[in-house]
Amino acid sequence: MTEPPAVPPLRLRRDAVAAGWSDDELARAVRAGELARLRRGAYVDTVLPAAPAARHALLVQATVAQLRRPAVVSHQSAAVLLGLPLWDVPLDRVHVTRPPGSWHDRSRVLCCHVARMRDDELVDVDGVLVTGPVRTMLDLARSLPHEAAVVALDAALHRGRLALDELRTRLFDIAGSPGARSAARAVAAADPRSESVGESRSRVILQRWQLAPSALQFEIRSGSGALVARTDFAWEDAGLAGEFDGRVKYGRLLRPGQEPGDAVFAEKLREDAIRDEQWGVVRWIWAELAVPHRLAAKVRRAQERTRGRRG
């Protein structure tokens, strides 16, 4: 399970002034590198974290502490505090939600949403009121682009942070609200079997181009029933296996004492074994996800080749 990001202690200007600091002293400390300025009125006693999630967690802490009216941390800000995985989601603003009767607000550091929230949708994270995992993911599914929403849903489901049935049931609660159709589409496309961002993005692209695989994490077996390989994707009617090749994947394949070249060679042998069972194999990499029409054409050509050999 992903843990919330570890962050350094936060120092608010109001607390520093109450402790005897002046604004000139704070400014000198920043120039000397003794403090790092996170945002107006908020500092840390060390360098700011490089990780976007950790930096955002600090921004949430600083912003919530300075709100004039109470609010619930929500959307991507809630996801960060809950340790839920995100991909290609902007973390430049803190997202909060207030009940109806409030107004939508957006500033350089704050985005305030207005929506109804039930008590059972809220959790406490270190003294901060936050939307829980299911509500957070539905809010993201309503507001993020489809691909980013599916990636986030897949990862949360794969890591066991929530259940697909619960997401589907809770869609009825947001029916008719802004973004509800987008959320339903993202939940319908989500799958806990996806094991990486690249696999999730690939599946979204393939579905868009009418090339949805028939199976994920598909087991190819020999005539005797022995397991030959488990593939990221499969088109069973075409006898085609699909593999997304992120560089990280080969790091996961390494056994103790094994070199990267050994893992690549072992993967070649694995692919040969798949082909020996009369299956075709098509592979693609990160760069090909940026040109979806080329990936779609590549998969179609592979299907045609495999069907031709089998036919």
Closest among 247, 249, 235 to 279, alpha carbons compared: 235
> What is the pLDDT at residue 248?
47
Any domain includes 32: yes
pLDDT band at 238 (very low <50, low <70, confident <90, very high): very high
Widest Cα–Cα separation across the chain: 83
Give the ranges where the chain is alpha helix by DSSP (H): 13-18, 23-31, 52-65, 75-82, 133-143, 146-158, 164-170, 180-189, 197-208, 247-253, 260-276, 286-289, 292-310
Does 18 lie in the same domain as 45? yes
pLDDT band at 258 (very low <50, low <70, confident <90, very high): low
Residue at a domain's end among 189, 212, 243: 189
Q: Which residue has the higher pLDDT, 228 or 20?
A: 228
Does 101 lie in the same domain as 46? no
> What is the pLDDT at residue 262?
58
What is the CATH classification number for the domain harbouring 239? Answer: 3.40.960
Does 87 lie in the same domain as 48? no
pLDDT band at 250 (very low <50, low <70, confident <90, very high): very low
For residue 167, is pLDDT > 80? yes
Q: Which domain holds residue 18?
A: 1-53
Residue at a domain's end among 134, 159, 189: 189
pLDDT band at 302 (very low <50, low <70, confident <90, very high): very high
Query: What is the domain count for the chain?
Result: 3
Any domain includes 300: yes
Q: Which residue has the higher pLDDT, 21 or 253?
A: 21
CB contact set of 84 (below 8 Å; sequence gap of 6+)? 2, 78, 133, 136, 137, 152, 155, 156, 161
pLDDT band at 311 (very low <50, low <70, confident <90, very high): low
pLDDT band at 260 (very low <50, low <70, confident <90, very high): low
> What is the pLDDT at residue 22?
81
Backbone angles phi, psi at 75, to 5 degrees: 55, -140
Does 278 lie in the same domain as 180? no
pTM: 0.84
For residue 149, is pLDDT > 80? yes
Any domain includes 14: yes
- Please tell me the distance from the alpha carbon of residue 241 to that of residue 281, in angstroms, as a whole number: 5
Does 140 lie in the same domain as 71? yes
Does 178 lie in the same domain as 87? yes
Does 171 lie in the same domain as 210? no
> What is the pLDDT at residue 212?
96
Does 302 lie in the same domain as 201? yes
For residue 261, is pLDDT > 70? no
Any domain includes 112: yes
Q: Which residue has the higher pLDDT, 25 or 83?
A: 83
Residue at a domain's end among 135, 154, 189: 189
- Averaged over 248-262, what is the pLDDT? 55
Does 112 lie in the same domain as 31? no
Does 185 lie in the same domain as 85? yes
Is 236 in contact with 214 (CB distance < 8 Å)? yes
| DSSP assignment string, 109-130 | SEEEEE----GGGEEEETTEEE
> What is the pLDDT at residue 158?
96
Any domain includes 61: no
The DSSP H or E segment spanning 231 is: strand 227-235
Both tokens assigned to 155: 């990862």
pLDDT band at 265 (very low <50, low <70, confident <90, very high): low
Any domain includes 59: no
Q: Each residue of 133-147: pLDDT tens digit?
A: 999 999 999 999 999
